[in-house]
Each structure stands twice: as structure tokens, then as C-alpha cells.
Amino acid sequence: MQSRSTTTAILLIILIIIAFPVIISIIGGVFGIIGGVFGAVFGAIFGVLGGLFGWMFNWHWPFHHWNAFTIIAIAIVVVLVSRSRKI
């Protein structure tokens, strides 16, 4: 009877060791999906609000030939260059 209990314990330990990374990755994926859905909802809401305000007040973006990625990339480069010169 002792060997059967030991074999069961060893098999359970091996199963837990193999399943742990899979379970953690599934949980992380669920958190990622939830965060992505929240980001999409807030992005859609604020995008519609920004579009309405832009249409109502006839606002014009001064950099109409640039997209947001270009402006953000330039801002990140400026911040990184200014931080590296302080050291």
C-alpha cells in the first residue's frame, strides 16, 4: 500500500510541475484579454467624445499630416535623450 501512495504522490507532483506554467499562462492571457477589452471600450468612448467636440467646435489638429504614433515616438525620443544627458 505504501508504494501506491508514493507513486500517486510522484505523479501528482509531476502533473503540477507540468501544468503550472500552462495555468499561469492561461490566467495571464485572461488578464490580457480583459485589459484589452477595457482599453478598447475607453478608447472608443473617448474617441467618439473627441470627434464630437472636434466637430462641434470645428477644432483642427495642427499636425494633420502626422499620425499619433509619430508624435508619441518623437516625444519618447526627446524624453530619452534629455534623461541620458542628465547623468
Tens digits of per-residue pLDDT, 18-77? Answer: 999 999 999 999 999 999 999 999 988 888 888 777 777 776 666 566 677 777 888 888
Tell whether 47 is covered by a domain.
yes
DSSP state of 17: H
Residue 73 lies in a domain: no
pLDDT of amino acid 38: 92
Instruction: Give 84's pLDDT tier (boundaries 50, 70, 90).
Output: low
Domain count, the chain: 1
- In this predicted structure, what is the pLDDT of residue 25? 93
**Residues 15-29 pLDDT 10s:** 999 999 999 999 999
Cite the DSSP H helix spans in 1-87.
Answer: 2-57, 68-86
Please give the residue range of the domain that contains residue 33.
2-61
> Does residue 71 fall inside a structural domain?
no
Domain contains 85: no
Q: What is the C-alpha separation between 42 and 69, in angstroms, rounded?
A: 18
Is 52 among the domain residues? yes
**Which residues, 6+ apart, have CB-to-CB distance to 59 below 8 Å?**
53
